[in-house]
């Protein structure tokens, strides 16, 4: 009889708790529920769409209303939300910790850590990333060929002009007040 493949216990490799240091204390943030996690994923998708093209439908706008924002931090932080309020956390700290918890829930610990280490700001790309981006753009410009004609027609090539011979005049009537070439007299 064949053995059935078994996966490792889920809790064995997931970070079960996010520890956030603030004012000398380490706050323990528990993972969000499945429904909250799904709502956060939708919220993240709306944020990405807004950043890319700025067009949001009314239902998407409601996802990020003021009332939703208050619930957002409470949902992201769980019991830690009330603990932070009881400890007198500032609004800025609550938003920073809540945003880190949101990133942890939607994109994982590494993304949350980058956000936290950057002080809540989007980190600037490192030198290698900037250089790669420049080379990619430069190479694309250098190798791009002009688009072919969409109408299927071609432009006829210009015929080379014949050189003038000695003694010809430069006017259309064939006469000139002055000769255009030197002749022996």
CA neighbor of 15 nearest in space, from 110, 109, 138, 122: 109
For 133-159, what is the mean pLDDT? 57
Task: Report d(CA 180, CA 160) in Å as an integer.
Answer: 21
More confident call, 59 vs 73: 73
Q: Could you tell me if residue 142 is inside a domain?
A: no
Predicted confidence at residue 145, as pLDDT, reads 57
Q: For residue 22, list its beta bridge partners.
A: 25
For 94-101, what is the mean pLDDT? 94
Q: Could you tell me if residue 135 is inside a domain?
A: no
Q: Could you tell me if residue 37 is inside a domain?
A: yes
Given a cut of 60, whether residue 181 has pLDDT beyond it is: no
Q: Could you tell me if residue 181 is inside a domain?
A: no
Q: Could you tell me if residue 9 is inside a domain?
A: no
Structural domains counted in the chain? 1
Q: Could you tell me if residue 68 is inside a domain?
A: yes
Residue 160 contacts residue 144 (beta carbons within 8 Å) = no
State the average pLDDT for the chain. 76
Host domain of residue 21 = 15-127
Relative orientation angle of helices 79-86 and 91-107, to the nearest 10 degrees: 160
Residues 6 or more apart from 94 whose CB is under 8 A from it? 73, 77, 81, 84, 85
Predicted confidence at residue 74, as pLDDT, reads 93
For 68-82, what is the mean pLDDT? 89
Please tell me which of 9-13, 49-53, 99-103, 117-121 the model is most confident about, judged by mean pLDDT.
99-103
Given a cut of 80, whether residue 97 has pLDDT beyond it is: yes
For 107-133, what is the mean pLDDT? 77
Q: Could you tell me if residue 141 is inside a domain?
A: no
CB-based burial of residue 75 (10 Å sphere; 0-12 exposed, 13-18 middle, 19+ buried)?
A: buried
More confident call, 73 vs 57: 73
51-73 as b/e, with b when 16 or more CB fall inside 10 Å? eeeeeeeeebeeeeeeeeeeebb
Q: Could you tell me if residue 172 is inside a domain?
A: no
In the chain, % of residues over pLDDT 70: 55
In the chain, % of residues over pLDDT 90: 37
Given a cut of 60, whether residue 86 has pLDDT beyond it is: yes
Given a cut of 70, whether residue 42 has pLDDT beyond it is: yes
Residue 131 contacts residue 106 (beta carbons within 8 Å) = no
Predicted confidence at residue 3, as pLDDT, reads 78
Task: Report d(CA 20, CA 27) in Å as an integer.
Answer: 5
Q: Which two tokens stand for residue 59?
A: 């239902």
């Amino acid at each position: 009889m064949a053995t059935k493949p078994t996966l490792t216990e889920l809790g064995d490799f997931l970070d079960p708790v996010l520890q956030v240091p603030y004012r000398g204390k380490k706050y323990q943030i528990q993972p969000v529920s499945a429904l909250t996690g799904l709502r956060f994923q939708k919220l993240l998708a709306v944020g990405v769409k807004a950043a890319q093209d700025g067009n949001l439908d009314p239902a998407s706008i409601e996802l990020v209303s003021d009332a939703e924002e208050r619930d957002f931090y409470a949902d992201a932080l769980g019991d830690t939300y009330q603990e932070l309020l009881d400890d007198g956390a500032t609004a800025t700290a609550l938003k920073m910790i809540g945003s880190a918890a949101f990133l942890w829930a939607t994109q994982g610990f590494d993304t949350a850590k980058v956000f936290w280490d950057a002080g809540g700001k989007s980190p600037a790309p490192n030198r290698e990333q900037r250089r790669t981006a420049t080379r990619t753009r430069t190479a694309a410009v250098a190798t791009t060929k002009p688009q072919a004609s969409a109408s299927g027609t071609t432009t006829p090539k210009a015929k080379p002009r014949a050189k003038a011979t000695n003694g010809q005049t430069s006017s259309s009537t064939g006469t000139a007040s002055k000769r255009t070439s030197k002749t022996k007299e």
